[in-house]
Amino acid sequence: MINLDDAQVFQRFDPGGMLAFLHQMPRQFQQAWEMAINFDLPEDYRNVDKVVVLGMGSSAIGAELVSGLVAAEAKLPIFICRDYSLPAFVDARTLVIASSYSGMTEETISSFEQALKTEAKKMAITTGGRLKTIAAKANIPVFSFDYKAQPRVAIGFSFMAVLGSLQKLGFISDQSADVAETVLTLEELSQEIAEDVVLSRNPAKQLAGVLYGHLAVIYGAGILSGVARRWKTQLNENSKAWAFYELSPELNHNAVVGYKFPPELADKAVVVLLRSAFLPGTAQASYQVVCRLLEKDKVAYQIVEGRGKSRLSQMMSLLLFGDYLSYYLAILNQTDPTPISSISYLKGKLAKG
């Protein structure tokens, strides 16, 4: 197996420089937050009773993370639309946010163009492309940022743009203190799991070794539901690996029955349970029982804990841990974490009809 303590392997298998973007993540979150709280929206955008975020992949996950974070206090529901069609309930009291890193995501463009025909309030989050052009032509506010990378490593911008907008419109409380604490937590965590920290003291490298050659199934709950999806998609895109995710308490009603067959899979699967001090007691208790069931059916599992004092830091520390983990697994798989040729191939074929 590849030696993750050998600095040369990162140069060999990471020609796209994904590692450098991981190093920048804490700073990116700080920069994105500063941009978000200085982004102006019309006063009448406060007169809405729901938010619909249009997006796919990494451009949608930021809003999903925000939705989970603020669910207990937000004064209105947040819906994520990952489709070509706009929900029929969108009306004049809806804030529609189109999020597309490239500004060229066809599903997002399609649903946003439908939104233009409604009286909904609208904004866009993008680096450019058709989305920026369409929004500017219609005098719609655009949260525009310049960050040249794969969309999945620009998560700070898609997340903070939504979080900051909700705060400025008065739908959630001031998040500034939690953001500051989160940035410090991410900086500390980065130093603990960076590539120059040896395997024996690096939990992200260690877990990558456990997942190497196995099927990863990520369990999340509550505020970590979006983080579980993020782990799954990062393992797909960075590690080029099969991965799935399940959410508690729903998994208690079906997934726990499926550990038995096919019996050969028990040796090839590893369940990773994401845990936070902010999960409700019922979720903590169900995790304990689920672990007993996994042990009974001889399915390996690992528990990864969130860091920090706030909900936000617990979420984002687990997100960053998963990003590093997926990077190390890519190196173990001897594959470049940056390219996503299968997605490019699929999009090309769809574009040709």
Condensed to tens digits (0 to 9), the pLDDT of residues 253-270 reads 999 999 999 999 999 999
pLDDT at 4: 98
- Tens digit of each residue's pLDDT (9 = 90 or more) over 291-338: 999 999 999 999 999 999 999 999 999 999 999 999 999 999 999 999
Query: Mean per-residue pLDDT for 238-251?
Result: 98
The percent helix, strand, coil of the chain (3-state, each to 5) is 55, 15, 30
- CATH number for the domain harbouring residue 100: 3.40.50.10490
CA distance 301 to 210: 9
Q: Flag whether 183 is in a domain.
A: no
Beta bridge partners of 275: 305
Structural domains of the chain, count? 2
Identify the band that residue 344 occupies on the pLDDT scale cut at 50, 70 and 90: confident
Chain-wide mean pLDDT for the chain?
96
210 and 94, same domain (yes or no)? no
Instruction: Say yes or no: 110 and 149 in one domain.
Output: yes
- Provide the pairing of β-strand 142-144 with 269-275: unpaired
**pLDDT at residue 75 in the model:** 87
Residue 215 in domain: yes
What is the structure's pLDDT at 151?
A: 94
pLDDT of residue 340: 81
pLDDT over 80 (residue 353) = no
275 lies in the same domain as 321 = yes
Note the pLDDT of residue 347: 77
pLDDT in tens, 223-236: 999 999 999 999 99
Residue-number span of the structural domain to which 262 is assigned: 198-332
How large a percentage of the chain has pLDDT more than 90?
95
Burial class of residue 26 in the structure, from the number of CB atoms within 10 Å of its CB (0-12 exposed, 13-18 middle, 19+ buried): buried
96-124 pLDDT, tens digit per residue, is 999 999 999 999 999 999 999 999 999 99
Segment 155-178 mean pLDDT: 97
Q: Which residues contact 328 (CB under 8 A, 6 or more apart)?
A: 4, 204, 205, 208
Domain shared by 162 and 237, yes or no: no
Q: Note whether 70 and 172 are within 8 A (CB).
A: yes
**Averaged pLDDT for residues 29-43:** 97
Active-site amino acid positions: 237, 253, 347
**247 plus 119 within the same structural domain:** no
In a domain, 125, yes or no: yes
